[in-house]
């Protein structure tokens, strides 16, 4: 009796210890840190304060960065959905040798470090990069791409696309190809069959892909760091700056907590919408 109660606890303990050690403890420490007072002369002090939160929430500099993070993450998600869904559909209708080849092409970039890929983009988009060289060749003036939001979004889309394609592709795999054919025989054009029959069934994959892409984009560090430059900051690079350049750890912690809460709220709300839909569709 006693033993049967203890067994599951014992079995769960390695995971629990790992989770507590790697997630809970650092998070609690960060939370505590964010409420500690800070003085530029003497550093972190031993008294409690809400000043950091007040400061962040009332300063348009920080709010602007939060807003940019939200905007760029949402834009990246949208573009990934617009490119990824058709890509997954085409992939699922390919014949056997090509399908594996293209699947590899899509997943391949995941094997290369994000930092390397970000450097690659900075070389392509720079003022003397390939893109501007090509534009110059056709007689168009140089455009400023590097260190703009455009550059960040382009690189984020590139990095995040597999996270959109794979869930949509999985959803398509579960679909009986005859279901689409049935819609055709009932008089639906290719487009209406896609819209009325295929789309609603891959929407679950699309929604979960969006959740992943949004979460990863909103907390991306390397890409905004390398392609946004010193001035164009996103949430993660801002936190880094507060810690490493300003040395104001409590303020950095407060920003990190705020970003975490905002991310959680958005993703949970979104997830609820997804689950409500799933309940309706899958029972």
Partner 1 sequence: MGFLTLEGVSKVYGGLAAVRDVDLAVARGEFVSLLGPSGCGKTTTLQMIAGLVEPTAGRIGLDGRDITREKPNRRGLGVVFQSYALFPHMTVAENVAFGLEMRKVPRAERDRRVAEMLALVHLANLAERYPRQLSGGQRQRVAIARALVIAPPVLLLDEPLSNLDAKLREEMQFELRRIQRSVGTTTIMVTHDQAEALSISDRVVVMEAGRMTQIDAPYRLYEQPATAFISTFVGKMNRLAGVWGDGGVAVAGTVLASAPADVAAGTAVTAWIRPEKLHLRPMGEGRLAGRVASRFFLGGHWLLTVGTEAGDILVSVPNTGEEPAREGEPIGLDWEPASLRVEAGAGAAA
Interface with partner 1 (CB under 8 A): 176, 178-179, 181-190, 192, 196-197, 200-201, 281-283
Nearer to partner 1 by Cβ, of 14 and 187: the residue is 187
At CA 242, angle to CA 36 and CA 219, rounded to 5? Answer: 105
Instruction: Note the Cα 177 to chain centre separation in Å.
Output: 31
Kindly state the helix (H) or strand (E) to which residue 235 belongs, with its residue range: helix 235-244
CB of 175 to partner 1, least distance (A): 9
Nearer to partner 1 by Cβ, of 47 and 96: the residue is 96
Residue 48, beta-bridge partner list = 36
CB of 200 to partner 1, least distance (A): 5
In angstroms, the CA 246 to CA 264 distance is 27
In angstroms, the CA 5 to CA 75 distance is 49
Nearer to partner 1 by Cβ, of 157 and 204: the residue is 204
CA atoms within 13 A on the CB side of 160: 33
Q: Which two tokens stand for residue 184?
A: 């055709």
Kindly state the helix (H) or strand (E) to which residue 6 belongs, with its residue range: helix 2-19
Nearer to partner 1 by Cβ, of 127 and 189: the residue is 189
In angstroms, the CA 33 to CA 251 distance is 9
Q: Which two tokens stand for residue 86?
A: 């058709």
CB of 187 to partner 1, least distance (A): 4
CB of 208 to partner 1, least distance (A): 16
Nearer to partner 1 by Cβ, of 82 and 181: the residue is 181
CB of 85 to partner 1, least distance (A): 16
22 CB-near residues (< 8 Å, 6+ apart): none
CB of 97 to partner 1, least distance (A): 12
Nearer to partner 1 by Cβ, of 82 and 186: the residue is 186
């Amino acid at each position: 009796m006693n033993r049967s109660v203890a067994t599951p606890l014992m079995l769960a303990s390695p995971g629990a210890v790992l989770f507590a050690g790697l997630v809970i403890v650092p998070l609690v420490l960060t939370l505590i840190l964010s409420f500690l007072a800070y003085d530029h002369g003497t550093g972190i002090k031993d008294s409690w304060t809400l000043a950091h939160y007040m400061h962040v929430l009332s300063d348009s500099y920080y709010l602007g960065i939060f807003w940019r993070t939200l905007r760029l993450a949402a834009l990246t998600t949208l573009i990934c959905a617009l490119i990824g869904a058709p890509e997954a559909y085409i992939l699922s209708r390919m014949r056997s040798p090509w399908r594996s080849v293209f699947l590899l092409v899509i997943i391949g970039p995941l094997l290369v470090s994000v930092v390397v890929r970000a450097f690659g983009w900075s070389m392509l988009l720079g003022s003397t990069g390939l893109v501007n060289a090509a534009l110059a060749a056709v007689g168009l003036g140089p455009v400023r791409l590097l260190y703009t939001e455009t550059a960040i979004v382009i690189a984020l889309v590139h990095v995040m696309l597999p996270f959109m394609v794979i869930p949509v592709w999985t959803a398509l795999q579960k679909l009986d190809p005859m279901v689409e054919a049935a819609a055709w025989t009932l008089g639906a054009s290719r487009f209406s069959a896609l819209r009325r029959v295929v789309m609603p069934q891959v929407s679950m994959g699309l929604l979960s892909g969006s959740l992943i892409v949004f979460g990863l984009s909103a907390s991306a560090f390397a890409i905004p760091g390398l392609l946004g430059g010193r001035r164009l900051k996103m949430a993660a690079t801002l936190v880094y700056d507060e810690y490493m350049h300003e040395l104001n750890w409590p303020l950095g912690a407060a920003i990190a907590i705020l970003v975490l809460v905002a991310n959680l709220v958005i993703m949970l709300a979104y997830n609820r919408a997804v689950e409500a839909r799933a309940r309706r569709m899958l029972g």
